[in-house]
Amino acid sequence: MDGGAVLEVNGIVKRFGSLEALGGVSLSLQSGDILGLIGPNGSGKTTLINVVSGLLYPDAGSLLLYGRRIDRLSPHRRSHLGVNRTFQIPHPFTGLTVRENIDISLLFGRLGNRADLDQRAEDILKLAGLSEFSEHKAGNLNTSQKKMLDLAKALATEPKVLLVDELAAGLNTSEAEAVARLLKEVRKSVDAMIVVEHVMNFIKRVTEDVVVLDAGKVIFSGKFIDAVKDSKVREVYLGKAGGT
Amino acid sequence: MNFRHFFLKDPKRMWPEASMLVAPLAVIFILGPDIYPNQSIFMELAVFIMLADALNIVYGYTGYLPFGFGVFFAVGAYGTAILISHASWQVAPAIIAGACLAALLSLLFTPLLRLSGAYFAISSLAAFEAFYLIFSNTQLTSLTGGPYGISFTQVYNANLDYTAAVVLAIASAIVVLVISKSTFGIALQAIREDRFAVELAGVSSLRYRTYAWLISSFISGIAGGLFGWYQGFFYPEAVFNLTEFSVLVIVFVLFGGKGTVFGPVVGTVILFLVYEILSLTFSNSLLIIFGLLLVVLVLFIPNGIEPLLRKAADLLLYPDGRD
């Protein structure tokens, strides 16, 4: 890259009726960045991921991917340009096999072609630890495996920016550790990542850089170790008494 | 269509299923009229198989149920009739042109594909009614025959029409089989399962639903043209028949198993024959009996009979279970 931002989120506003879920959120990702996006329930983390991935359109503000505006593009166009995501609640195609789930992303994703389809699918299944379930129906996987499949589907589109929405939520400690290791591995193949997470220990393992959201606004942007000392952050997580 | 996205995943595995589709249908359509000498019933069966396969593509594979689906059938019938009676076209090109007209009409309806669920189902019904009013309008009597119907008996040839309908009914079943074994079909199934997640995989759900819609309306248009040709003369109500060419077809597909290759064909053969037998013996209470039968079927086998038949076939072929 020529030093420009990979992804720029500028003053994004998203309203649902009278509720302002995002009130002018701005952040920027450079090549190689992994940004932890944290905040209490209802702070707007998933809404922001939905806006960046194209499932929601913003009411104001702009999104730039390598300097190109993408905020009015459909999700499949953004996927072709290199933006992809996982879901907090996984979205596998339950009636299709695990391999077919991956194949769709490989065939229709950013580079979308048939070249080395089997090899590429095997590599991704191996990375996600799903090789032995290749011919299983995705609906028969357990929650942890479905989350891995979600990640594998996103990776199969060969994204440049990956948005990971609470991948470790609901997983036990060893599963979460495996996911953290996996994300570090994934980091090598993408240009930048945003990792949304509730579990602080998980974020700590994945990145040092965090943005804290509260009520749809950025209240902190910086290093994780500074965030835990920040009075505003402590207040939204622990209540007023926590800050004193 | 971007053909780099359309290829058969495992062509070799297609042949056994293709022969399992073709052989029984060929037997039914060749021997059927000898056993029960009423060709028109088997002609209607062929038309219904085409319609069930066409509906299966759009409803079974993409999950979008158009209640007014029969409009494409009617437009195909009218397109064929008008081209033969007014422009003296040969039958084959007239039927193809009629089907193209139906497909073209479906393109006009593509904004409806942005709707979902009941909104889509009901808006297609409104389109059906609108076109019924247009084609049956007295202002258009010189072109469509208006409420008095349209006649093109000069090309009537029942045997040739029957042969064409049988071949094309089998062909439509093969089209569904090919779609199911292709990457295009897998993308359609993914759209049916989750239209947001499929977009993230890079599939334009609107574009692929449009392709499915086009294929489906073209097959329906062909069925309409063949049906019209067999009649030689029809009133608007005969082809704009919501009960027969929309609701009944939906029932056949549901009964057989939507989104499967064999389900709509098997469902149509069984229920259509039941319908015909009931109409001979209980003509007065036909719809009541048929309705009750359907309630029972929907309650006890909501996924249709295809999964049951598949299990039965597995038990017969692999009594010790698959390895």
Q: What is the pLDDT of residues A73-92, one digit of tens each?
A: 999 999 999 999 999 999 99
Ordered by where they begin, the domains of chain B are: 3-250 (1.10.3470)
| Burial grade of B34 (CB within 10 A; 0-12, 13-18, 19 or more) | exposed
The pLDDT of residue A113 is 72
Q: Give percent above pLDDT 70 in chain A.
A: 96
Alpha-carbon gap: B306 to the closest alpha carbon of chain A (Å):
15
Contact by Cβ (8 Å): B103, B218: yes
Chain B contact for A69 (CB, 8 A cutoff): no
Q: How far apart are CA B173 and CA B261, in angstroms?
A: 7
B contacts of A157 (beta carbons < 8 Å): 200-202
Beta bridge partners of A222: A210
The pLDDT of residue B3 is 47
Task: Measure CB to CB from residue B204 to each of A76, A94, A104 and give the nearest one.
Answer: A76
Please give the model's pTM, rounded to 2 decimal places. 0.88
Most confident of A161-165, B125-129, B276-280: A161-165
Q: How far apart are CA B150 and CA B85, in angstroms?
A: 8
The pLDDT of residue B134 is 95
Chain B contact for A93 (CB, 8 A cutoff): yes
Which alpha helices (H) appear in B141-204, and where do they start and end? 141-144, 158-180, 183-193, 195-200
Chain B contact for A90 (CB, 8 A cutoff): no
Rounded mean pLDDT, B294-320: 82
Contact by Cβ (8 Å): A161, A83: yes
Confidence of residue B101 (pLDDT cuts 50, 70, 90): very high
Please tell me the least confidently modeled range out of A131-140, B1-10, B272-281, B311-320.
B1-10
Question: How close are the terminal C-alpha atoms of chain A, in Å?
Answer: 44
Any idea of the CA torsion for A49, A55, A57, A58, to the nearest 10 degrees?
A: -20
Which alpha helices (H) appear in A20-162, and where do they start and end? 45-53, 75-81, 98-108, 117-127, 143-156
The pLDDT of residue A210 is 95
The pLDDT of residue A135 is 94
Residues 6+ apart with CB under 8 A from A207: A34, A35, A36, A195, A224
Rounded mean pLDDT, B219-244: 94
Give the other-Cβ count within 10 Å of A201's Cβ. 12
CB-based contact A108 B202, cutoff 8 Å = yes
Chain B contact for A139 (CB, 8 A cutoff): no
The pLDDT of residue B321 is 64
Contact by Cβ (8 Å): A146, A98: no
Contact by Cβ (8 Å): B263, B305: yes
Average model confidence (pLDDT) across chain B: 89
Residue A66 has pLDDT above 50, yes or no: yes
Task: Measure CB to CB from residue B201 to each of A55, A74, A104 and give the nearest one.
Answer: A104
The SS3 of residue A11 is strand
CB-based contact A104 B193, cutoff 8 Å = no
